[in-house]
Amino acid sequence: MRTLLLSVLCVFSVVFGFCSAEVFAADGKPFTVVIDAGHGGKDAGAIGSKLKVMEKKINLSVALELGKLIKENTDARVVYTRKTDVFVPLDERPKIANKAKADLFISIHANAAVNRTAYGTETYVLGSSSSSMEVAMRENAVILLEDDYEKTYEGFDPNSSESYIMFDYMQFAYSKQSLSLASAVQNQFKKNKRTDRGVKQAGFLVLKQISSPGILVELGYLSNADEERYLSKTKSQKELAESIFDAFVKYKADYDKKNGRVSKEAKAEEAKRKAEEAKAKQEKADAEAKKKAEEAARKDTVAKTVDEKVKKEEKEKKAEGPGVKVEDGIVYRVQFCSSSKRKDLNSREFKMCVPAFEVAENGIYKYMYGEEKTFDGAAALRKKIQVSFKDAFIVVFKNGVKLPIPEALPYLK
Ligand SMILES: [Zn+2]
C-alpha cells in the first residue's frame, strides 16, 4: 500500500515539478509544531460504548501532554489549535497552523466503528482511499455543526463520497515527510504494545488545507469497550503522548540534519553521549588502576612470604646453635690415632671409633672417626672420643680431601 502510494506520489511530483525536493524550510526560525486536539466544545467526537467517554477529552489530554514533552525536551515551538474544551471549526484549524507558519501539523483523534470488536491505532496522511472513507467521513462530519458550511468548504459535502475524489494535491508535496512521521508514530505505538493497524491515507479536511507535512493519529477505538477503558486512563494517555513524542523527536532530528540545524536536544544528546563516554573512560582507568594495585599487593605478599621464609630458615639455622656454619663439601672428622704401622680398621683397640677412617700421609697412617657437617658436631664427637683418646683433634676435609692445617683453620674455631 505504501509503495503504491509513493509511486503515485512520484508521478504527481513530476507533474508539479517538486520531485524528490525536500520541502523543509531552512530559514533559521524555530521549528514550529501545531498540535490539534480533535473536536471540542459542542463537538464531543466519538462517544465510548460503555463508559461513554468523550473523544474530545482524550484528544485534549494527549495533545497537551505531547506539547508539554516537546516544549520540555526540544527547541521546537508548540502551538495548539485548542488548549481547553472549546469548539474550533474544522477550517479554523489549518488556518491556525498556516498563520503560525507550522513546520508540522499533528491532529489527535480517537476512533469509533460500527464493528465493536475493532481495536488498535492507525495514523493517517492525506490521500484518497475508499477503504478509509468511513473514518474520514466521520471526522469531517463536524462541519455540519457549522453555519454556512457549504460556503466555507466550497460545496464540500462530508457525507458524499464524490466530494473525496478530487483533493488539492498541494498536500502531496509534503507526503514523503508526512508518511515518514506517520510510520514513526505507528512504530512507537507498536513498541509500546499497542495494536498497529498501520499507516493509512484518507481525505481528512483538516489535513487538506495545511501548508506543511501533517498527520492525523487515531489513538484507538472508543467503540471497543476494552479500548475505551484503556483510553480513559491518564496513564494510557501519557503513554500514547510519549509514543507520538518519540516519533516526533526522530522526525525533527531528521529535519534538523537535512537543514544543517543543531538543535537544543541534539546538543543535549551530544553532551550526554560525551558525559557517558568520559564516565566509561574513567571507569576503565579506575578498573585498570585497581587491577594494578591488586597485582602490586599480590607481588608484595609473595615477596613478604619469600622474605618470611628466608627469615624463618635463618632463624632455624640460628636455633641450631651459635657459630653453626654449614658449608658444602666440608666434612669434619676426629683424628684419634696415628702410627707408622698399619692397623686393622675394625681393631678392638679403636673401641667406639669403629669403623675407622684411614689416611696415609708421608708413611704415617692416620685414623679418624665421624663425618660431621658442622664444627660443633665435630667438637661434641671429639669430646666423646677424648674419653679413650685424650689427644684426639678435629681435621677438616673438603670434597673428600683432607685440608692442611693453614687451609683448615678458617673452618675451625
Ligand atoms: Zn475525531
- For 13-30, how does the pLDDT look when each residue is reduced to its tens digit (9 = 90+)? 333 333 233 334 445 689
Low-confidence residues in the chain, pLDDT < 70? 1-28, 128-134, 148, 150-156, 159-173, 315-326
Q: Residue ranges of the domains in the chain?
A: 2-263, 330-411
- Residue 210 has a pLDDT of 87
Q: How far is the CA of 47 from the centre of ligand 1 (A)?
A: 10
- For 197-241, how does the pLDDT look when each residue is reduced to its tens digit (9 = 90+)? 999 888 788 888 888 999 999 999 999 999 999 999 999 999 999
- Enumerate residues with CB within 5 Å of ligand 1 (an ion): 38, 45, 109, 139
Q: How far is residue 356's CA from residue 334's CA, in Å, rounded to a whole number? A: 10
- Residue 27 has a pLDDT of 57
- CATH topology for the 330-411 domain: Alpha-Beta Plaits (3.30.70)
Residue 214's φ and ψ, nearest 5 degrees, are -155, 150
Q: How far is the CA of 61 from the centre of ligand 1 (A)?
A: 14
Q: How far is the CA of 39 from the centre of ligand 1 (A)?
A: 6
Q: How far is the CA of 112 from the centre of ligand 1 (A)?
A: 9
- Residue 325 has a pLDDT of 57
Q: How far is the CA of 230 from the centre of ligand 1 (A)?
A: 17
Q: How far is the CA of 149 from the centre of ligand 1 (A)?
A: 18
In this structure, which CATH number among 3.40.630.40, 2.60.40.10, 3.40.640.10, 3.40.470.10 belongs to the domain 2-263?
Answer: 3.40.630.40
- Residue 160 has a pLDDT of 64
Q: How far is the CA of 339 from the centre of ligand 1 (A)?
A: 136
Q: How far is the CA of 252 from the centre of ligand 1 (A)?
A: 25
